[in-house]
Structure 1
Amino acid sequence: MANISELLSALDVFTRTPDKASLEKANTWLQDFQHSPEAWSTCNVLLLSPDVPPAAKLFAAQTFRTKVTYDLSQVDPSNIAGLRDTLVAALQKYSAGPRTIIVQLCLAISGLALQFPAWENAVQTMINTFGVNPATVPVLLQFLTLLPEEVHTNNRIPITDYEWRERVSDLLAANSKQVLDLLSMYIQASGVTADVQNQAFKCLRSWLMSGEVSTLEMAESPLLAFSFEALASENLFDAAVDVICELIHETQEIDDNMPVIEVIVPRVIALKPLLTTQRDDSDRIRGYARIFAEAGETYRVLIIQHTETFFPIVEAIGECSAYPDLDIVPITFPFWERLAQVIGKRTSVSPLFQQAYRSVMQVIINHLKFPPDATPLVGQEADDFRAFRHVMGDTLKDCCEVLETESCLLATYEMIATALSQSSSWQEVEAPLFAMRSIGGRIDLNDEVAVPKIMDLIPSLPNHPRVRYAATLIISRYTEWISKHPAYIPVQLQYISAGFEDTDMDVVAAAGQALKYLCQDCKEHLVDVLPTLHTFLNTTGSRLCQEDKVQIYEAIAFVISAMPMEKAAESLRTFSLDLLAVVHNVATSPTTANDGDLTTICNALESLEVMLSVIGSFGEELPAACQNTCNEVWAMFDALLSKYCKDENVAERSCRVVRYGLSFFDEAVLPVAPSVVARMSFSFEASGVASFLWIAGKIIGRFGDRENPDLRGSFKEIYERSTQKLVQLLQTQSPDTIPGVLEDYVQMLIQMLQQTPDILFQSSVFPLAFRAATATLNLVQADPVFAALDFFLSIFTHDCLEPVNNLPPNFTQYARAIQTAFEASGPDFLGYLLTGLVGNFPPESDPLVVSIFRSITAMWPTQVMAWLPTILQQIPSSSAPNEIKTTFLSDVSTAINNKKFDKVKYAVITLHRASRRIRERRRTGALVP
């Protein structure tokens, strides 16, 4: 009774508006209770007690389901039959509801039947218990509906594959015919209610989906005919549609199911006239669309082989595609895609299919039209429609599979020409333009018929923003074709340029995108245009938003990349100096820059970054125009960061440019590299911004093997200064507030371990670095955790720890440094390692943890066994209950005592698997909200 009182108190927390701590405390208590052996009897008392609140009864039923899944081993085998009787009796008690309790008890009984082979006649027992009294038939139907779902989907039940197959045969296959007969009887019984009939349909669908009822068995029963007849019923329509669709789906093995298909198809085709007579009822049209689409997808091969017989299904799907409700239209899209895939593999196409896809194309383009200006779409509705247009665009590509792209392009061209000749609305022009853009990826780059017509048409289109937007994006999609037909470049470039003058920001954005792709694909033809682009940037460019400017600079970089190296270097210098002038002016100004100035700097740096990312480098030997640039540019950045390193945006943008500068200048960076690392060191010390460590790591990785005293001195300096700074940060901030800093710091340490291990290990700050890296294991983000685990694995498997003679002299110092750091921070490190393993570490990290733990136990077995009991006590029981910890400690102790350190691997794996099951149980545990 004490348990019941506590349980009711914990559940009561959820009925109020608790604070987070109270909610988590109650939740943890309830989950721990569900683990306990006492939960069996306590929940039975709750279900049988009339005065217990409904939430407690539901929780009791949920707990039974959970414990049957996870904890049946807690029940003595001789008592399992009694547990079965208890659950069946509880289901009888709640046969009138609530439904939530019925569902949980049915799931519990299903899970028990799967694990209790001695219960040989489980289905018959339930039929005998609940199937005779009309009042309890709904309970039986609920059980029979859930049984195949639970048997086939609850993979958390601990049984072997062999046991599972045996029980599936006993529970499902052996009873399928009886279940069909039972459903046939109930669904046609005198006085049967629509609710019972719906339940019977849901049960039938569940057995069909599980594959335990054969389609032939169903076809030979009255249920097939009744399913189609039920479509006439308002109350049974949805359930009947579900069953028919599932039945059709289950006949996808065509050769094995032809007798059933021959029964189904005439009934499906007979529904076609209803698309006209019931056109005003969108819910019914949706159901019919599902049936026709399922039949079309399943029988698409038969549609090709026996076109005359099956083509009415294609016609019906075409009618559904043309329906004005855009929630219904997508139901048909998979059919058109899959049929097109089949047709596309054939050497000839029936005229019937060609006409069908022409109609679909016309229908889709009609759906693409924006509504009249008088009733515009706004807000989420407008966003949804734009997103759906792209989905419809994919179906237009399917049309190209059947009709050939050239034919589709000419058809859309004629639509636009007709609309222009009749002075139609802009919507009539824009929709086929969108279609042209959608199918642009399918065009033949050597097309000389359709695409030239489109290119000639674009400059003469109406100057409406939506039309101009669509036409500009057509250019961006067709740039590969334009590259092979360079005569069209001047006209299209002029059209794009005019787009930058438009007041509509979407048109401007489209122009930026089009220019980028034109320059990318036609770069060899645009070298002479570069001065014009430079003038454009210095005039019109000032009015563009930053996103559009970035696209233009990216476009320019593509053109530069196609030029001879010397000319390319001169051009890059010209455009770069414009951007660097902004940096220089602010960096050297005697006054402090305001937010606007700093934003301008960041924008210029972003543009420079995108140019460098496209160009990459000019190779090992820099052209003359770039010989002195590295020193000059770094002087500007050094001045900028000395003043504004605390501004995160400036810091990040500057470091990204520096990163690309390292790739661009390569060996030419060496003279300034010590200065760069020093600046990163001072800047991180002043600001704590992660980007400075990121760049330091990149430089150490690139030049760490150079015997340059100044460079190595700068490496040592940033290592020691950044470590001291990070330790200070961790004294005032928790690791989860600075995940980026920790990740970039550890990545820098990894580079030092690989390139400059002497600096890493022989510095007095190594124990602090070890402790700082350990803090990274507290994080939930995968990337920093992986970085830390990689770092520690490299340390604990380092050659300096190998017990062999003739190791290099400095390896002794390395080993002593590792030993000192581990003895100082080992308990914390092991605690974080094991807590992460049973907690937030990503699953892919398991091998790293296993290798680290094995290495540590082999190297320091005495310390590990001394620390482990205390460490395990500190791990939350919600992640690893005491019995799991006890098993782990015993397994590790045995492995260490027997000096079989490979056995440690299995101890860690066992701990992780057990904790994962616990976490999964807690995550899916059914608690009452």
Structure 2
Amino acid sequence: MANNVQAVLSALEVFSGAPEKAAIEQANTWLQDFQHSSEAWSTCNVLLLSPDAPLHAKIFAAQTFRTKVTYDLGDMSTPDLLQLRETLLKALETYNAGPRNILLQLCLALAGLALQLPAWEDPVQDMIDAFGRNPATVPALLLFLTVLPEEVTTNTKIPLTDDEYKERASKLLTANANKVTDLLAMYLQAPGASFAIQTQIFNCLGSWLAAGEIVAMSLLNSPLITYSFQALSSDELFDAAVSVVCDLIHETQEVEDNMPVIEVIVPQVIALKPKLAEYKDDPDKIRGLARIFAEAGEAYRSLLLHHPETFFPIVEAIGECSAYPDLDIVPITFSFWMRLAQSIGKKTSVSPLFLDAYRALMGVIIRHLHFPADTASLTGQEAENFRSFRHVMGDTLKDCCYVLGTEKCLLATYEMITNALSRGQNVSWQEIEAPLFAMRSMGAEIDPNDDQAVPKIMDLIPSLPAHPRVRYAALLIISRYTEWINKHPSYIPYQLQYISAGFEDADQEVNAAAGQALKYLCQDCRRHLVEFLPQLHSFLANMGNKLVQDDKVQVYEAIAYVISAMPMEQAAQSLRTFSLDILEHVHALTVKTTPPTKEELINITHDLENLEVMLGVVQSFGEHLPAACQNAHQEAWAVFDPFLGKYGTEYPVCDRTTRVLRFGLTFFGSAALPIMPLVLSRMVSCFEASGFSSYLWMAGKVIGRFGNEENPSLRAAFKEVYERASNKLVSMLQENPPQMIPDVLEDYLQMLLQMVNNAPDVLFPSPAFPIAFRVAMAALTLVHSDIVFAALDFLRSLVTHDSLNPTTEPPPPKFPIYAAAIKPVVERQGQELTGLLLAGLVGDFPAESIPMVVTIFRVLALLWPTQLHAWLPPIIQQLPSTSAPEQVKSSFLADVNRYVSGLAPMITHN
């Protein structure tokens, strides 16, 4: 015992210094293992009750009791459990005055024990008898009663069947709800009850309300409702009272079942409305009141709409909270406004009171949208937070549109701007920008056929001040209203002119907004913009070098949308024109005799990105290419091949070029088949030279697209890329652990999956196949869900391959070759594979991967039963007891043995 105590103290001491990470991990692992050991019970009891033990050791001991009660009660007899109860009760008595973190863990442990110990007849009454009569121990009782519903309803790790849980939860909670209600009321009215006790009472009541065990109607004649509202006048009790009032209101949202208690609650909620003026300088108080009003508004929404004469003061109060200047408080009300708008939208008529409320709300939100007069006063993070919050407020403006109608809302914001402009030089840019932002937010709700509000806005835009923030907002309005512009193409020349001026602005954010506006204009109005394509080409030629890449790529994307709307032959010629501009830059860099500068390499990757985005929009002209594209794949590869040969070891070049090639594969389709052996050869030679995974990614795409082709040179290229890539990967794994090259492993595995499906004749007979199997096993050690899925998918494809269990006679001619390749590899590597699968299953494998692991185990048991029987015992013993307790290990091994034994007759029969 003394040795165990000292070992725990030594392990905990590691955390108090500044040790190395390895020492912390080692100590943490030891402590986790110790918590699951049988010695932990007595050791932690000694630590907890020893006056000399340090505080952190006592906290660990209390946490261990809670952990063991959750996980480790299965082996204990009822007498042992009853003795454990007495141990915990004694500890709770010892620590009834704190520290709170120890007291909390002990209460959680007792709650978990109460749930699992039917022999404990009435835990709630027993705890009241033991701790409820002495004022000094009442806080411990209240804490236990607070955590009991939370632990019973939320701790899903406690091992109980559904029937056991329902029976025990009913006995612990439902049967005691009235008793707890009366107890809390008694304590609340007790003379001399401290603020701390009263706070605990409210927290406890809230816990039972939230769990649905104390129902609101049961409080109708209880003083708890009145006391909860009265406590809102106390600074010390305010926060706890707010929470319990919100819980109480929430539990009455089934209004028909709770009308008597709602009639008690609502007048007291409405009576809080004057407090908004009284507490206007206290944001914390306003936040609490906002929570109450918003909760009442949402819970009683149907009553608001049917009886506005009674309930509308709640809406007014929520409106005051929405208008409060503290933007941390305002969003508390947004859910109410959204849900109320949805309810109003379903009604044929609505009270003018609600229309007025949403008109006022729109004005309030637009005022909140104003940037500060001194924007420099915002820190970087504050400015970012404010920008993000503006979009949230924009959603509330959409709610206003839903109730009032988009046209009326747009005209109201239009008038705000025209009124501001009428004041001439005295207007601030914020007064114009905020309504413009509102127009942008409401743009999603406009009718593309509107001929009242939107034309006024479009006519207004060219006359707006040239301030960067105003121009930025106006450009984003254009980008949001492009569906309307498509129905009104006469506005396109003016919008193009405004967008073009945006690219010339000195402000980069304005440039970016111009790029976005042009992209969406071309996307939605592409058929109207075909005649403007030469103008766009000239714009690129003249302005291209002045644009930053983010803006330039948006221009190329915009142009691609216009090209996609052209007749095919014209589109092909236009795409060729823009593509050749870029390919000329690539060729020029390739033949350059002096080493490229860093800027030249960056520029060429930008060019490739522009080509990529164009191909991504156009996608394909189909299998029958127009004349302008007939030989374009060979011309393009004649540029890319030497370019990669020279610069393929530069990662940005690799990344962008393979992306372009991927889109080229989609664009040219089967027409590109003749050059694919050359492409694959270049991909693998670049991979060998660089180790960049993108080359394997591209090779996998080619195999996926053309894997079923019988072309001999293409299949030889598959074999070459597979074997050379596998050998390169072996050398990489000799220099780096798998964790250092996850991207390479993932793209290699994805290539293998394409080969399983499309080229098994290349995959299995190759001397690279054992390498592929080992790489898949290495991938199982990574904590990357996508890679683990890919590895498991590949391994499952191997062990379930039809060649191992052919269903037709005679089997396909190549099946014996495949089976002869798979079987010896599995037999050699099976023990390691089994270990990795089990380690991942109890470790870091994602839950969604379990069916794949189960499938692999089933096939191993069916096809390799003798080997699996020998592999499992040493592997299971190596699993950490923290993840797989000894009982679980034994049970699992027995289950597998029974399963294998059950299969034996089937295997013999077959």
Q: Shared fold by TM > 0.5?
A: yes
Contact 1:177 / 1:213 at 8 angstroms: preserved in 2?
yes
Partner of 1:476: 479
Contact 1:297 / 1:335 at 8 angstroms: preserved in 2?
yes
Partner of 2:780: 777
Give the residue type in structure 1 aligned to 2:820: R
505, 516, 540: which one aligns with 1:513: 516
| Distance in 1 of aligned mates of 2:196 and 2:897 | 62
Unaligned runs of 5+ in 2: none
Identify which range, 558-567 or 694-703, moves more after superposition: 694-703
Q: 1:209 to 1:374 in 2, by over 3 A?
A: closer
1:536-555 to 2 correspondence within 5 Å? 536-555=539-558
Give the residue type in structure 2 aligned to 1:865: H
Q: 1:236 to 1:557 in 2, by over 3 A?
A: same
Q: 1:2 to 1:697 in 2, by over 3 A?
A: same
Say whether residues 1:401 and 2:402 are aligned partners.
Answer: yes
Partner of 2:843: 839
Q: CA deviation at 1:638?
A: 0.3
Partner of 2:505: 502
Partner of 2:380: 379
- CA displacement, residues 192-227 of structure 1 (integer Å, 9 cap, x when unaligned): 211111111111111111111121222211111111
Q: CA deviation at 1:375?
A: 5.8
| Distance in 2 of aligned mates of 1:894 and 1:229 | 66
Partner of 2:727: 724
SS class of match (1:566): helix
Contact 1:208 / 1:250 at 8 angstroms: preserved in 2?
yes
Partner of 1:823: 827
1:124-163 to 2 correspondence within 5 Å? 124-163=125-164
SS class of match (1:125): helix
- CA displacement, residues 851-876 of structure 1 (integer Å, 9 cap, x when unaligned): 11221232222222333334334444
SS class of match (1:763): coil
Q: CA deviation at 1:533?
A: 0.9
Say whether residues 1:753 and 2:756 are aligned partners.
Answer: yes
Partner of 1:306: 307
Identify which range, 821-830 or 508-517, moves more after superposition: 821-830
| Distance in 2 of aligned mates of 1:162 and 1:832 | 36
Partner of 2:670: 667
Q: 1:900 to 1:494 in 2, by over 3 A?
A: farther
Partner of 2:605: 602
Q: 1:721 to 1:375 in 2, by over 3 A?
A: closer
- CA displacement, residues 551-584 of structure 1 (integer Å, 9 cap, x when unaligned): 1100000000000011101110111111111111
Q: CA deviation at 1:830?
A: 2.5
| Distance in 2 of aligned mates of 1:41 and 1:355 | 69
Q: CA deviation at 1:374?
A: 7.2
| Distance in 1 of aligned mates of 2:906 and 2:283 | 66
SS class of match (2:522): helix
Give the residue type in structure 2 aligned to 1:207: W
Partner of 2:170: 169
- CA displacement, residues 214-247 of structure 1 (integer Å, 9 cap, x when unaligned): 2122221111111111111111111111111111
Contact 1:405 / 1:439 at 8 angstroms: preserved in 2?
yes
Partner of 2:247: 246
1:437-448 to 2 correspondence within 5 Å? 437-448=440-451
Q: 1:50 to 1:376 in 2, by over 3 A?
A: closer
Q: CA deviation at 1:339?
A: 0.6
Contact 1:416 / 1:428 at 8 angstroms: preserved in 2?
yes
Given the two structures, how large is their TM-score scaled by the length of structure 2? 0.97
Contact 1:854 / 1:901 at 8 angstroms: preserved in 2?
no
SS class of match (2:780): helix
Identify which range, 274-283 or 400-409, moves more after superposition: 274-283
| Distance in 1 of aligned mates of 2:893 and 2:845 | 21
Q: CA deviation at 1:178?
A: 2.0
Q: CA deviation at 1:900?
A: 5.2
Give the residue type in structure 1 aligned to 2:317: A
| Distance in 2 of aligned mates of 1:512 and 1:592 | 33
Q: 1:900 to 1:238 in 2, by over 3 A?
A: farther
1:137-286 to 2 correspondence within 5 Å? 137-286=138-287
SS class of match (1:530): helix
| Distance in 2 of aligned mates of 1:306 and 1:110 | 44
582, 587, 590: which one aligns with 1:584: 587
| Distance in 2 of aligned mates of 1:268 and 1:451 | 42
Q: CA deviation at 1:663?
A: 0.8
SS class of match (1:14): helix
Q: CA deviation at 1:644?
A: 1.4
Give the residue type in structure 2 aligned to 1:712: R
| Distance in 1 of aligned mates of 2:309 and 2:886 | 70
Contact 2:78 / 2:119 at 8 angstroms: preserved in 1?
no
Identify which range, 757-766 or 91-100, moves more after superposition: 757-766
- CA displacement, residues 290-327 of structure 1 (integer Å, 9 cap, x when unaligned): 11111111111100000111111111111111111111
Give the residue type in structure 1 aligned to 2:3: A
- CA displacement, residues 97-144 of structure 1 (integer Å, 9 cap, x when unaligned): 111111111111111111122222211111111111111111111111
Partner of 1:360: 361
| Distance in 1 of aligned mates of 2:589 and 2:109 | 71
519, 527, 550: which one aligns with 2:530: 527
1:694-773 to 2 correspondence within 5 Å? 694-773=697-776
Partner of 1:862: 866
SS class of match (2:764): helix
Unaligned runs of 5+ in 1: 904-929
- CA displacement, residues 728-752 of structure 1 (integer Å, 9 cap, x when unaligned): 1111111111111111112212222
| Distance in 1 of aligned mates of 2:418 and 2:184 | 60
| Distance in 2 of aligned mates of 1:501 and 1:901 | 81
Give the residue type in structure 2 aligned to 1:548: D
Partner of 1:488: 491
Give the residue type in structure 1 aligned to 2:482: T
Q: CA deviation at 1:802?
A: 1.7
Q: 1:820 to 1:177 in 2, by over 3 A?
A: closer
| Distance in 2 of aligned mates of 1:206 and 1:609 | 57
- CA displacement, residues 811-838 of structure 1 (integer Å, 9 cap, x when unaligned): 2121111123223333332222222222
Contact 1:349 / 1:402 at 8 angstroms: preserved in 2?
no
Given the two structures, how large is their TM-score scaled by the length of structure 1? 0.95
| Distance in 2 of aligned mates of 1:327 and 1:902 | 68
SS class of match (1:439): helix
Contact 1:394 / 1:438 at 8 angstroms: preserved in 2?
yes
Give the residue type in structure 1 aligned to 2:710: E
Q: CA deviation at 1:51?
A: 1.0
Contact 2:205 / 2:244 at 8 angstroms: preserved in 1?
yes
Identity rate, percent: 64
Contact 1:252 / 1:299 at 8 angstroms: preserved in 2?
yes
Say whether residues 1:327 and 2:328 are aligned partners.
Answer: yes
Contact 1:858 / 1:901 at 8 angstroms: preserved in 2?
no
Partner of 2:100: 99
| Distance in 1 of aligned mates of 2:847 and 2:415 | 57
Say whether residues 1:688 and 2:698 are aligned partners.
Answer: no
| Distance in 2 of aligned mates of 1:898 and 1:287 | 64
| Distance in 2 of aligned mates of 1:107 and 1:194 | 24
Q: 1:204 to 1:879 in 2, by over 3 A?
A: closer
| Distance in 1 of aligned mates of 2:141 and 2:610 | 69
Q: CA deviation at 1:894?
A: 3.4
Give the residue type in structure 1 aligned to 2:213: E
Give the residue type in structure 2 aligned to 1:895: Y
| Distance in 1 of aligned mates of 2:592 and 2:877 | 60
Identify which range, 417-426 or 374-383, moves more after superposition: 374-383
Say whether residues 1:792 and 2:795 are aligned partners.
Answer: yes
Q: CA deviation at 1:75?
A: 2.3
Q: CA deviation at 1:150?
A: 1.1
Q: 1:374 to 1:111 in 2, by over 3 A?
A: closer
| Distance in 1 of aligned mates of 2:530 and 2:377 | 43
Partner of 1:290: 291
Give the residue type in structure 2 aligned to 1:205: G
